[in-house]
């Protein structure tokens, strides 16, 4: 490792881009404007410049830059090759998160194939096909229709081993006794402290969506049962506010979040599945790969076999 002058932000930026440009792609120059610096620290400034050049959005470049500075202080040296991956450097809570006093109830480390489904009939169908984790993602403002569909989904998994998460409609899900609830960042933001407390007290598992570093830190603050990361690839199912993350970033996220059950989602198909599994995530969530398949049961069986055969990433066993 060549010694880098850590008082020289430009040298820090160049060293980080040189070490990680191939992996994260894109950067041809460190001259990309970093719109705002919140500190004068040269490692922070150089890292923010580098992470911006590597294509990270502002809030993630900011988050990463602080982590680079924290890592450098903690190790008493700057190592451009060491992409930050210690939760403590991101200001996260104690790991493993399941041991925290405020942790949501645990769920399996490897949730396996995770089918995200539009109605209770699909939930029952995939649960009976042996899919280990299913989600009802029923988008409706009609309270009666939501209550009916959630109750039907809970009943649909009876007699199967499927773990059922309900997307968005957390109060209805608690009332119906669902295994867990999945919330996005906006859903979390909409909760009052009292509502978050009510959710915690319910005993339901909580999964949270994330789309980058800043959102992972936000998700970690509520100590959820699992963290979902995406969209990995382009998806036509949902309009995403952020660009597809790709597997290089997903691998970095998975390493940071080791200790959480992890779910990768967004645009995964049979061809892409091995690359996603190689990142170490213990679960892959899909909509179209199952719902639009010619034979959803056969497709689910193939995917489950592929996921069973995937080796546990060494990073997950450290
Ligand atoms: C497993 C899983 N991951 C992510 C999502 C997306 O949740 P959210 O960001 O709240 O968006 P909507 O699904 O509500 O449109 C998910 N549902 N499941
Ligand atoms: C709900 C959701 N959240 C992030 S990507 C996505 C859709 C995933 O659907 P598909 O697997 O068909 O791309
Ligand atoms: Mg949502």
pLDDT in tens, 88-104: 999 999 999 999 999 99
Instruction: Provide φ and ψ at 161, rounded to 5°.
Output: -95, 10
Whether the per-residue pLDDT at 220 is higher than 80: the answer is yes
Q: Compute φ and ψ for 38, nearest 5 degrees.
A: -100, 0
Testing ligand 2's pocket by substitution, the residue of 136, 210, 212, 266 carrying the most ligand atoms inside 8 A of its CB is 266
Q: Measure 169 CA to ligand 3 centroid, in angstroms.
A: 8
Q: Is residue 224 part of a domain?
A: yes
Q: What is the dihedral of CA 179, 185, 190, 193, to 10 degrees?
A: 70
pLDDT digits (tens, 9 = 90+) for 62-83: 999 999 999 999 999 999 999 9
C-alpha 215 – ligand 1 centre gap (Å): 13
- The answer to whether residue 318 is domain-embedded is no
Q: How far is the CA of 40 from the centre of ligand 1 (A)?
A: 37
Query: What are the pocket residues of ligand 2 if the criterion is a CB atom closer than 6 Å to any ligand atom?
Result: 116, 230-231, 235, 237-238, 265-268, 286-289
Residue 265 CB–ligand 1 contact under 6 Å = yes
The answer to whether 38 and 60 have CB atoms below 8 angstroms apart is no
Question: Average pLDDT, whole number, for the chain?
Answer: 94
* 55, 84, 113 - which closes a domain: 84
Cα 265 to chain centroid, rounded: 8
Cβ 187 under 6 angstroms from ligand 1: yes
Same domain, 209 and 76: no
Q: Is the same domain home to 178 and 202?
A: yes
Is residue 307, in this structure, part of any structural domain at all?
Answer: yes
Q: How far apart are CA 51 and CA 42, in angstroms?
A: 14
* Centroid of ligand 1 to alpha carbon of 26 (angstroms): 28
Measuring from atom 11 of ligand 2, which residue has the nearest CA?
A: 286
**65, 209: one domain:** no
Q: How far is CA 160 from CA 99, 134, 154, 303, in A?
A: 29, 11, 11, 18
Both 53 and 109 in one domain: the answer is: no
Domain range for 78 is 9-84
Q: What is the ipTM of this complex?
A: 0.99
The reply to whether 261 and 195 lie within a common domain is yes
Q: Which of 84, 114, 143 is the last residue of a domain?
A: 84
131 occurs within a structural domain = yes
Q: What is the Cα 167 distance to its own chain's centre?
A: 15
Residues 165 and 308 placed together within one structural domain of the fold = yes
Residue 292 alpha carbon, nearest atom of ligand 2: 12
Q: Are residues 223 and 120 part of one domain?
A: yes
pLDDT tens digits along 186-217: 999 999 999 999 999 999 999 999 999 999 99
Looking from the CA of residue 233, the nearest atom of ligand 2 is 13
Residues 193, 284: one domain?
yes
Task: Based on the fold, state whether residues 108 and 73 are members of the same structural domain.
Answer: no
CA of 304 to the centre of ligand 3 (A): 25
Shared domain for 101 and 48, answered yes or no, is: no
Total domains in the fold of the chain: 2
Residue nearest to atom 13 of ligand 2 (CA): 267
Ligand 1 pocket, residue 209 CB under 6 Å: yes
Per-residue model confidence (pLDDT) at position 35: 58
Domain assignment present for 252: yes
Token reading at 271: 């061809």
pLDDT at 310: 81
Q: Give the number of other Cβ atoms within 10 Å of residue 77's Cβ.
A: 13
Q: Is residue 302 part of a domain?
A: yes
Question: Which atom number of ligand 2 is nearest to the Cα of residue 286?
Answer: 11
- Domain-ending residue, one of 84, 111, 135: 84
Q: What is the pLDDT of residue 271?
A: 97
| pLDDT of the residue at 33 | 61
Residue 58 included in any domain:
yes
Do residue 48 and residue 187 come from a single domain?
Answer: no
Smallest CA separation from ligand 1 atom 15, residue: 238
- Please give the C-alpha separations between residue 163 and each of 138, 205, 227, 257, in angstroms, as whole numbers: 17, 10, 16, 22
Beta 112-117 vs 226-230: how paired, if at all?
Answer: unpaired
CATH number of the domain to which 150 belongs: 3.20.20.70
Give domain status of residue 34, yes or no.
yes
Ligand nearest to the CA of 235: 2
Cβ-in-10-Å burial (0-12, 13-18, 19+) of 152 comes to middle
Asked whether residue 186 falls in the same domain as residue 220, the answer is yes
């Amino acid at each position: 490792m060549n010694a880098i002058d850590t008082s020289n932000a430009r040298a820090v930026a160049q060293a980080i881009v040189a070490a990680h440009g191939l992996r994260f792609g894109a950067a041809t120059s460190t001259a990309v404007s970093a719109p705002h610096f919140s500190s004068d620290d040269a490692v922070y400034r150089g890292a923010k410049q580098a992470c911006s050049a590597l294509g990270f959005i502002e809030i993630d470049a900011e988050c990463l830059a602080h982590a680079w500075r924290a890592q450098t202080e903690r190790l008493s040296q700057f190592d451009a090759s060491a992409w930050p991956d210690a939760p403590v450097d991101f200001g996260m809570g104690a790991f493993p998160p399941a041991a925290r006093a405020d942790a949501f109830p645990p769920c399996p480390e490897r949730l396996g194939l995770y089918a995200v489904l539009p109605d209770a009939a699909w939930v029952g169908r995939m649960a009976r096909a042996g899919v280990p984790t299913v989600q009802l993602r029923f988008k409706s403002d009609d309270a009666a229709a939501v209550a009916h569909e959630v109750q039907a989904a809970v009943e649909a998994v009876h007699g199967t081993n499927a773990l059922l998460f309900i997307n968005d409609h957390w109060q209805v899900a608690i009332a119906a006794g669902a295994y867990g609830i999945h919330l996005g960042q906006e859903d979390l933001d909409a909760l009052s402290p009292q509502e978050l407390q009510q959710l915690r007290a319910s005993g339901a598992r909580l999964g949270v969506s994330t789309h980058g570093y800043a959102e992972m830190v936000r998700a970690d603050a509520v100590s959820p049962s699992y963290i979902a990361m995406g969209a990995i690839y382009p998806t036509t199912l949902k309009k995403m506010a952020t660009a597809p993350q790709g597997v290089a970033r997903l691998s970095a996220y998975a390493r940071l979040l080791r200790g959480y059950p992890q779910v990768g989602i967004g645009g995964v198909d049979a061809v892409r599945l091995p690359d996603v599994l190689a990142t170490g995530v213990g679960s892959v969530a899909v909509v179209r790969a199952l719902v639009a398949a010619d034979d959803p049961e056969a497709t689910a069986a193939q995917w489950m076999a592929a996921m069973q055969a995937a080796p546990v990433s060494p990073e997950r066993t450290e």
